[in-house]
Chain A
Amino acid sequence: MVEQTTFSILPVLIVTVSLVGAGLIMLFRDNPNRRETVSVVTGVVKFLMVLAMVPPILHGQVIRCHIVEVLPGCSLVFRVDGFSMVFALISSFLWILTSFYSIGYMRGLKEHAQTRYYTCFALTLSGALGVAMSGSLFTMYLFYELVSIFTYPLVMHHEDGEAKWGANKYLVYLMGTGKLFFLSAVVITYVISGNLDFGPHGILPADANPTLLIVLFVLFVAGIAKSGVIPLHSWLPSAMVAPTPVSALLHAVAVVKVGVFCVARVIYSVYGPELMQRLGLVMPSAYFFSATILIASMIALTHDNLKARLAYSTVSQLAYITLGFALVSVNSMTGGAIHIANHAFSKITLFYCAGAIFVATGKKYISELDGIARSMPITMTAFAIGAFSMIGVPGTAGFISKWFLGLGALDDHSLLLLVIILTSSLLNAGYFLPIIYRAFFFKQKSEDRHLREAPLFMVVPLSVTAALTIFFGFFPQPFLRLIAEVLS
């Protein structure tokens, strides 16, 4: 297969626009209105630029932008294909919504250090988009590590003991695995193939020592701890000490998706489906990721803190994506790739709702939410839509992902995997439905009667994402077409 590549400077602009944005945000630190306008405008510009790349991709082209060859076979290069587009589109689009949401949240709670917050947010988005569009392992590793650095101040935001603990755990887990495993995996790949640049096929030589390649795969999976794979997941719940918009965008979309996207790239562009099959890696890794799906769902059942429950739900849902790619069939990879988008819309809705509840009522625990839907009907309806999508109810985006994943499992004649996917749906229902039931049908406590919806800045974004969750449940074509371009 020869891929048609076109050159475009857009990827560079997309990465730099939020760097410029970050600079302007710092410049306008004394004028909150102007600062936040910059944040929104940067987001819009970024999204439009990402959108501009859609037509060539849909025409079967791959956008490539080579910047510099650092070492022979190791370049700083951007390469945009359908997978990149899915990730780039959702993270740049959701950044716009989150910028609005942040305004409501940060002002509603009168948070400190807002300039630092908006700056780091913009920088992190640069990093995430950089990963999405990376054209070599070097580029990917570079942006992966940048994301770790830029999000540290966001997790550390409250600067109290809990934030410090969470932030340091974050750094230890992500930097530790990144250095220890990811870096060695990159080096070993370079040593055995002499090339780190992605192409249409895997970059590992077919004649390499199979044992080494299997060990290498383990190093990659362990090194990319951002994907939240159990047992390297526990940084994620601890990172929930961050302000909720951070949890929403970064820990449901940008950061963790950087992780799963890297795993997907490793499977698809470093190894390639044939090599995965030949090494016998498909089923073992599929079961490994399935374990994460089940275990995380069960842990989620035990948490009363709403954000913690959502965090474990994220850990579980991320594993769907990696599972989809690990199965390397067209259906399963479609399911995995589209779940990057579907999970993003649904989970960000849920986090937005959690934040809205916190700003409007100061409540963090599920057990305090009796009858809350009476006071916050829009928020809780959106929450219900997000939860249904996570469960995989038809008509919501999550159903599409599970459908394709199920097909993928059957392609491999693995009934067990199908059972696992269905079981986890039950577990999802098990930890989401009680919240909805409590919110809608429990009697509201009398002291809660005065509570009202959160500011419009927050309610509008969460309504939009909830609406999109339903929209993509019925019209998944935009993303499916992008994915089909890669897999065809």
Chain B
Amino acid sequence: MTPLATLHNSPLGYPVLSLIIFLPVIGAALLALIRDEEQSRWFSLIILTLTFFFSLPLLGHFQADVLGFQFVERHAWIPGRGLNYLLGVDGISLPLVLLTTFLGPVTILCSWRYITHRVRECMACLLLTQGILTGVFVALDMVLFYFFWEAMLVPMFLLIAIWGGPRRKYAAVKFVLYTLAGSIFLLLAIVGLYVKAGSFSYPVMLGLHLAPTWQFWIFMALLIGFAVKIPMVPLHTWLPAAHVEAPTAGSVILASVLLKMGTYGLLRFNLTLAPVASVSLAPYIMVFSVVAILYGGLLSLAQEDIKKLIAYSSVAHMGFVTLGISVLNMQGFQGAMLQMINHGLTTGGLFLLAGMLYERTHSRELAVNAGLGRLMPGFVFFLGLYSLSSLAFPGTASFVGEFLCLSGAFNHSMRLGAWVIPGALIAAAYMFRMFLTVTWGKGGDPKLARDINLREWASLLPPALLVVLFGFYPAPILRIMNPVLEAIIGRLPVEKSIDMAAMISHSLHGFLN
């Protein structure tokens, strides 16, 4: 058995992972008992703050130098079918779990005044999302993983469809259709893996040595499932629609955590379960990543709608993540992981700011909001900080991530690096365009300007602090994830061994005859 698959019992006396999954879920149920809207807001805030504090022992007791899964919880679920309730975290999932719990209270704070009708229901949805997202990152049983993966759709669909903008129905349906279509392939892959492994347990599957053909198809099926979520060009068109229509909290969750489900899956499942196929197929992902970086950036440059601009910038940023993964070297992996965290903090912050502008002017158009920033110094401070981070300004978190991704790319080949660098330039262009229009532009109605209040400070400040901290000191995250990433690289074969042309023609042959 590979060390990656070892299961370490929790040093804590209580099931910490279940606690942070189910505390918000139970909280969502309890909201049914609360009638008052203001109370429901406070209740949700307290629940998610508690959840965050309960997740901190994970960081305190995590042994960075130990491979395998820690804080494992294992219970038989449906014994006859090899189904277990199996949870655990390792160096890849821990940062994402903490990101999720960290941003929980922020999503409540930004919905405080934004949501004016059906407040309780909205809060319940936010709590549910929180629990389910955590579940996605800690589930080690593939069926459980799939359950959380799909369950995510329900509260997210409701968030967009009920509290969204004018075209919310369209956006919500598009979101669900895209994700469901991708999920079918994910399910297919899981069944395929079960057939070979005889168990749904991911640690057991790690012991598989599949034939290259199997790996190829498993890889493809998983990839399609994850690519929709990431989203990779050309499967990205649901994202701008969903982002634009979703309420602020929905956008924050989407951008900060939900997209990471895809790249997490890519790193966790594709690379470890189909290493041979990964090496052969990585160059194709690379191409799509470069396209995402450049095309996403150019699209972002052309937007007049602030949320759309940020949404397309997400496409480009996630392109950096997939690029980092696809170059298959240590720097790329580290960069991809950091970029996931940093994009979560940065883009989350930008969506918060876009939401605040919307609350003031009831418009997301750049032209309507132009020049308002100079009347709101506190707002501009954060807009500047998050914009700089988004364009990977040195000293902000995204710089380190992007720098490592670029190092990975240049390490892979100078030519690849040369393709990606313009993406960094375009990022600067669209971010400055937005920032400068909002601060210096002309056309906004000055009467609508109102600087951010204490609650808004409270939601913007914590991620901003982390943005700066990780900009200079990413060592804690790197320390946690380095051993796992090294182990994943260690499993990859050195040479490409799949002859793609032969593989496809063989498969077609089998398919047609």
**Chain A residues in contact with chain B, CB under 8 A?**
67-71, 76, 138, 141-142, 145-146, 149, 156, 159, 164, 168, 171, 175-176, 179-180, 183-184, 186-188, 190-191, 212
Contacts and interface: CB of A to CB of B under 8 A. Distances in A.
Contacts of A138: 394
B57 interface: no
Interface of B: 388, 393-395, 400, 403-404, 406-407, 410-411, 414, 417-418, 421-422, 424-425, 427-428, 432, 436, 440, 471-475, 478
A70 to B, nearest CB: 6
A328 B301 CA distance: 43
Contacts of B414: 188, 212
Contacts of B404: 71
Contacts of A69: 475
A186 B421 CA distance: 12
B472 A76 contact: yes
B428 A141 contact: no
B472 A180 contact: no
A175 B429 CA distance: 9
Nearest to B331: A191
B425 to A, nearest CB: 4
Nearest to B384: A149
B425 A179 contact: yes
Contacts of B417: 184, 187-188
A381 B428 CA distance: 45
A80 B169 CA distance: 61
B422 A180 contact: yes
Name, among B394, B411, B417, B421, the residue most crowded by chain A CB atoms within 10 Å (CB to CB): B394
Nearest to A74: B403
A183 B400 contact: no
Contacts, number: 65
Contacts of A212: 414
Name, among B403, B440, B471, B473, the residue most crowded by chain A CB atoms within 10 Å (CB to CB): B403
Given A180-B422, A180-B425, A212-B414, A68 B395 contact: no
A462 B220 CA distance: 71
A175 B406 contact: no
A186 B422 CA distance: 15
Contacts of B422: 180
Contacts of A176: 425, 428
A180 B419 CA distance: 11
11 contacts: A69-B475, A71-B400, A138-B394, A168-B436, A175-B432, A179-B427, A183-B424, A184-B418, A184-B421, A188-B414, A190-B407
Given A70-B474, A159-B440, A184-B410, 9 more contacts: A71-B400, A145-B393, A149-B388, A149-B393, A176-B428, A179-B427, A180-B421, A180-B424, A190-B407
Contacts of B427: 179
A142 B410 contact: no
B406 to A, nearest CB: 5
B501 to A, nearest CB: 32
B394 A142 contact: yes
B424 A141 contact: no
Nearest to A144: B394
B432 A183 contact: no
A341 B208 CA distance: 68
A156 B472 contact: no
Given A142-B395, A145-B393, A145-B394, A179 B424 contact: yes
A267 B500 CA distance: 47
B410 A188 contact: yes
A55 B473 CA distance: 33
Given A70-B472, A70-B473, A145-B393, A171 B432 contact: yes
A168 B388 CA distance: 17
A313 B432 CA distance: 31
A71 B425 contact: no
Nearest to A138: B394
B394 A141 contact: yes
A179 B428 contact: yes
B287 to A, nearest CB: 20
B475 A187 contact: no
A71 B410 CA distance: 17
Contact of B472 (A68, A141, A159, A171): A68
Contacts of A190: 403, 407
Nearest to B404: A71
A114 to B, nearest CB: 15
Nearest to B406: A187
A69 B479 CA distance: 13
Q: Which 3 A-B pairs have the closest CB atoms?
A: A142-B394, A179-B425, A187-B406
A183 B421 contact: yes
A146 B395 CA distance: 10
B472 A187 contact: no
Contacts of A180: 421-422, 424-425
Contacts of A186: 403
Contacts of B406: 183-184, 187
B440 A156 contact: yes
Given A68-B472, A76-B472, A156-B440, A191 B407 contact: yes
A435 B428 CA distance: 42
Contacts of B400: 70-71
A191 B424 contact: no
A153 to B, nearest CB: 9
B393 A187 contact: no
Contacts of A71: 400, 403-404, 474, 478
A164 B90 CA distance: 51
Nearest to A209: B414
Name, among A176, A184, A186, A212, the residue most crowded by chain B CB atoms within 10 Å (CB to CB): A184
Nearest to B423: A179
Contacts of B473: 68, 70
B478 to A, nearest CB: 8
Given A138-B394, A156-B440, A180-B422, A187 B403 contact: yes
Contacts of B411: 191
Contacts of B393: 145, 149
Contacts of B410: 184, 187-188, 191
B200 to A, nearest CB: 38
A175 B428 CA distance: 8
Nearest to A153: B440
Contacts of A149: 388, 393
Contacts of A171: 432
B293 to A, nearest CB: 13
A68 B414 CA distance: 29
A112 to B, nearest CB: 12
Contacts of A76: 472
Contacts of A156: 440
Nearest to B427: A179
A141 B400 CA distance: 13
Name, among A68, A142, A186, the residue most crowded by chain B CB atoms within 10 Å (CB to CB): A142
Contacts of A159: 440
B83 to A, nearest CB: 42
A293 to B, nearest CB: 29
A187 B407 contact: yes
Nearest to B470: A70
A149 to B, nearest CB: 8
Contacts of B474: 70-71
Nearest to A67: B472
A191 B428 CA distance: 23
B179 to A, nearest CB: 34
A220 to B, nearest CB: 14
A329 B340 CA distance: 47
